[in-house]
Amino acid sequence: MDSFGKVLVVFIPNYCKMRKLFTYILILLSVYIGFVEPVKASDTAITQEEEYNPTNIEFEVRLTAPRRFAVIFENPDGNSIYVKVYDMVGNQVAQEISNHKGRFAKEFDMSSSRSEVFIVEVGNARINNTKRVFLQK
């Protein structure tokens, strides 16, 4: 390859129904002609075990009764995970902390609160996730 390199420019319109096929053919053609080098299997192989590092805590909120809901999630490593419930004004109305490994399920009774909308926050020291809960009176 010379000092300027090779340039391949192809315009594929967004409305083209066969865009994926054209892109795939273009990649194969680029490798065949020599514009790009193919990736070897050894380049992409994982050589060491990667640490489990979730970027988000997934949880589920289920309505169990009028003015009650349950928060359910999995705690795979047994680290401390908190569940906080806020009303729409921002007041914390409930809190629960889970330190055990496995499935967590906790029912929250909001019958004493006047609010109809709550924010549920589940997280730990590094990450958290929030969801809105709408309850009828």
How far apart are alpha carbons 112 and 134 in whole angstroms?
15
Other CB atoms within a 10 A radius of the CB of residue 69 amount to: 20
How far apart are alpha carbons 117 and 110 in whole angstroms?
10
How far apart are alpha carbons 57 and 122 in whole angstroms?
7
* Under 8 Å between Cβ of 89 and 115: yes
Tell me the domain boundaries of the chain: 12-44, 59-134
Report domain 59-134's class.
mainly beta
pLDDT tens for the 137 residues of the chain, in order: 444 444 445 555 555 556 666 666 666 666 666 655 555 544 444 444 444 455 567 888 988 888 899 999 888 877 888 999 999 888 999 999 988 888 889 999 998 888 889 999 998 888 888 898 888 76
